[in-house]
Amino acid sequence: MQGDGRRLRVIGEWDVAVVGSGAAGISAAVTAARYGARTVLVERQAYLGGMGTGGMVGVFCGLYTGGPEKRAIPSAFGGDVTDRLAREGACGWSDIRRTRVVHYDVGVLKVVYDALATESGVDLLLQTGVTGVLADEGRIHGLVVDNVEYHGVLLAKQVIDASGDASVVHWTTGRTEKGGAAGETQGATLVFRMANVDTARAVAVSRDGFSELLEQANREGTFNLPRTDGYFFATTHPGEVNCNMTRVAGLDTTMAAEATLAEVVARQQVQEYARFLRARVPGFRDSYLSFYGSTLGIRETRRIVGDYVVTEDDLRVARAFDDGVAYAAWPMEIHAATGDGTVWEWLPDDAWLEIPHRALLPLGLTNVQAAGRCISTTHEALGSTRVMGTCMSMGEAVGVAAAQAARRGLSIRELPMAELRGELDAYRRVETDTRRRVG
Ligand SMILES: Cc1cc2nc3c(=O)[nH]c(=O)nc-3n(C[C@H](O)[C@H](O)[C@H](O)COP(=O)(O)OP(=O)(O)OC[C@H]3O[C@@H](n4cnc5c(N)ncnc54)[C@H](O)[C@@H]3O)c2cc1C
């Protein structure tokens, strides 16, 4: 017998280690690397992008304010992503409700993220799960990872938890929260794509009209459609729409058995909604289910408990903070935890909230930041901060902060705030396509 029994061994040492490559993690890793930090990005899937690719979300929200002006939030990384997608003819801008969004091709986004990561010098580890931490009082020294080759440790001076589930912080301190007052979390959705749709006929069906068709089908008892406020959205390809209409509620996807059941239930729902679309919705008669997300789309699980908790009141007044480092402009969009319905509450016209750096700092840890949907907020505020434009903005903030802290040998709370904010302003002042207008 010659095997090493998967003995734990040190793989290398980095200035910054980023866990998870959703909109927050990829933005954080690219930014840290651009700022000179030796950076490793660890992702358990075979591709970058998290919900934005694997979950087939397909639309960037939060890059623009809501209101008559639809101002672009300052975003260097967001601008780079949309510029590159536009060059490939793989994205488009549209005004919906009171704001502006960018819809994009999910496959091309994976390649754009690959390019941004490799060009910036990030060390990429795909198909690699972070499975534990090496930590002592107040500090993470290394991440335990598993992949096809090794069971190893990545040593790092600064760690960014962009796992969506706040897993790294949870394993280290146990100081995380989940959901609202009763632990309820927003419903999950498996996004799917229908092809060969007569889109001219389909888009003539209003959102309200679509809901009525769903409700009618449920009343007749011929279909079982748990959510009736979903809709479908144009993609960058003719005859194709992305469908955001399933709802898996009441299951906790941080529990293994429930996460498994959620995926199974979601796939059953996709089949049922596709059957409904073909049978009942104008323009879909000859369509077919061409693709669905490789993972169920999760809106909410665990959040860190940070030095500051962003609240719904902060969003209602679009509060600014002395340590504001990222921008949230999307309304609080809260999908029902059980049953049907989605609540929307907008920020003041054309205003954004500044997310304070303290909301990215987990209590009790000196070299760890969080970014993305797992930062320190209330359940309600998360309805806004979770969207990808905001996640990218947070990624920029933690990326610059981690690079500065690693270079200067400081703990994350010792960073001079004026310098961090100054550096972020300089980074984001780049004139980018996020300022582009429709047409
Ligand atoms: C159905 C649905 C529709 C949505 N619609 C929109 C929309 O239209 N526009 C919009 O902007 N936002 C939308 N959102 C919200 C948005 O997509 C997510 O909130 C956002 O992508 C979160 O980004 P993130 O980087 O925090 O996490 P995620 O995108 O969840 O990424 C986390 C990453 O970490 C990886 N990871 C986790 N744990 C580990 C580990 N232990 N080891 C290694 N890797 C790990 C995961 O594989 C994943 O790639 C939607 C969300 C859902 C679910």
pLDDT (tens digit per residue) in 76-109 = 999 999 999 999 999 999 998 899 999 999 999 9
- Say if residue 259 is in the same domain as residue 388: no
Q: 98 is written with which tokens?
A: 């009171």
- Measuring from each residue's beta carbon to the nearest atom of ligand 1, which residues come in under 6 Å? 19-25, 42-45, 50-52, 55, 57, 59-62, 129-130, 162-165, 167, 189, 191, 244, 297-299, 372-373, 386-389, 391
With a cut of 50, which residues of the chain have pLDDT below it?
Answer: 430-439
Considering the domain architecture, whether residues 284 and 427 belong to the same structural domain is answered as no
d(CA 378, CA 334): 12
Residues 115 and 20 placed together within one structural domain of the fold = yes
79 within domain boundaries: yes
Structure tokens at 174: 């146990």
Q: Are residues 345 and 431 in the same domain?
A: yes
Residue 202, amino acid: A
* Any domain includes 63: yes
Q: Which burial class, exposed, middle or buried, applies to 198 when counting CB atoms under 10 A from its CB (0-12, 13-18, 19+)?
A: middle
Question: Distance, CA 390 to ligand 1 centroid (Å)?
Answer: 12
Do 138 and 116 fall into the same domain? yes
Taken in order 171, 130, 9, 27, the sign of the CA dihedral is negative
Give residue 298 CA to ligand 1 midpoint distance, Å: 7
89-to-86, 188, 241, 388, 437 alpha-carbon distances in Å: 5, 30, 17, 20, 16
Helices of type H across 240-354: 256-280, 312-316
Atom of ligand 1 nearest to the CA of 374: 26
State the pLDDT at residue 4: 75
As to burial, measured by CB atoms within 10 angstroms (0-12 exposed, 13-18 middle, 19+ buried), residue 17 is: buried
> Measured between alpha carbons, how far is residue 277 from residues 56, 177, 197, 225, 233 in Å?
19, 38, 10, 11, 14
Q: What's the pLDDT tens digit per position in 140-184? A: 999 999 999 999 999 999 999 999 999 999 999 999 999 998 888
pLDDT of 1: 65
DSSP code, position 182: T
**For residue 38, how far is its CA from the centre of ligand 1 (angstroms)?**
24
Atom number of ligand 1 nearest to Cα 298: 53
Instruction: Report the alpha-carbon distance of residue 80 to residue 86 in Å, rounded.
Output: 10
Residue 187 is assigned to a structural domain of this protein: no
The last residue of one of the domains, among 247, 269, 292, is: 292
Q: Among the residues of 50-158, which ranges form H helices?
A: 76-87, 106-120
The Å distance, Cα 212 to ligand 1 centre, comes to 30
| Ligand 1 pocket: which of 41, 42, 51, 60 to mutate (most atoms within 8 A of CB) | 51
Domain count, the chain: 2
Could you say which of 243, 275, 292 is where a domain stops? Answer: 292
In a domain, 3, yes or no: no
Other residues' Cβ atoms within 10 Å of the Cβ of residue 438? 9
Q: 285 alpha carbon to ligand 1 midpoint, in Å?
A: 32
Residue 97 lies in a domain: yes
Residues 172 and 196 in one domain: no
How, if at all, do strands 9-19 and 151-161 pair?
parallel
Distance CA 93, CA 306 (A): 35
- Domain with 310, as residue range(s), is 9-181+300-435
pLDDT at 369: 98
Ligand 1 center to 20 CA (angstroms):
9
Strands 342-345 and 332-335: antiparallel
> What's the 192 CA to ligand 1 centre distance in angstroms?
16
Residues 286 and 304 in one domain: no
Total Cβ atoms within 10 A of residue 194: 26
**Ligand 1 atom closest to the CA of 145, numbered from 1:** 42
Which ligand 1 atom minimizes the distance to the CA of 25? 25
Asked if residue 45 lies in contact with residue 22, where contact means CB atoms within 8 angstroms, the answer is: no
**What's the 109 CA to ligand 1 centre distance in angstroms?**
14
Q: Indicate if 391 and 409 belong to the same structural domain.
A: yes
- Between CA 395 and CA 360 the distance in angstroms is 10
Q: Residue of the nearest CA to atom 53 in ligand 1?
A: 297
Q: Is residue 286 part of a domain?
A: yes
Judge if 19 and 162 occupy the same domain. Answer: yes
Cα angle, residue 46 at apex, residues 109 and 59 outer, rounded to 5°: 30
Residues 80, 434 contacting (CB under 8 angstroms):
no
Q: How far is the CA of 83 from the centre of ligand 1 (A)?
A: 21
Please report the pLDDT score of residue 97 as a whole number. Answer: 87
The pLDDT, as a whole number, for residue 436 is 34
In this structure, which residue's CA is closest to atom 48 in ligand 1? 50
Rounded (10°) angle between helices 23-34 and 106-120: 20
Q: What is the predicted pLDDT for the residue at 339?
A: 65
| pLDDT score at 438 | 30
pLDDT reported for residue 183: 86
Ligand 1 pocket test, pick from 100, 185, 227, 388 with the greatest ligand atom count within 8 Å of Cβ, gives 388
Q: Which atom of ligand 1 is nearest to the CA of 297?
A: 53
Q: Look at residues 25, 41, 50, 13 and name the one whose alpha carbon lies nearest to residue 299.
A: 50
Q: 6: which strand partners?
A: none
CA–CA separation, 161 vs 372, rounded Å? Answer: 9
Q: Tell whether 186 is covered by a domain.
A: no
- Judgement on whether residues 324 and 340 belong to the same structural domain of the protein: yes
267 and 340 part of one domain: no
Return the ligand 1 atom nearest residue 189 CA.
Answer: 1
Nearest to 279 by CA among 246, 233, 190, 271: 271
Reduced to 3 states (helix: H, G, I; strand: E, B; else coil), residue 398 is helix
- Which among 302, 241, 304 is positioned nearest to 273, based on CA atoms? 241
For residue 133, give both structure tokens: 């931490």
Distance from the alpha carbon of residue 2 to the mean position of ligand 1, in angstroms: 41
Give a yes or no: residue 2 inside a domain: no
CATH code for the domain of 394: 3.50.50.60
Instruction: Looking at the structure, tell me whether residues 280 and 306 fall in a common domain.
Output: no
Structural domain ending residue among the three candidates 263, 292, 321: 292
pLDDT score, position 439? 25
pLDDT at 435: 35
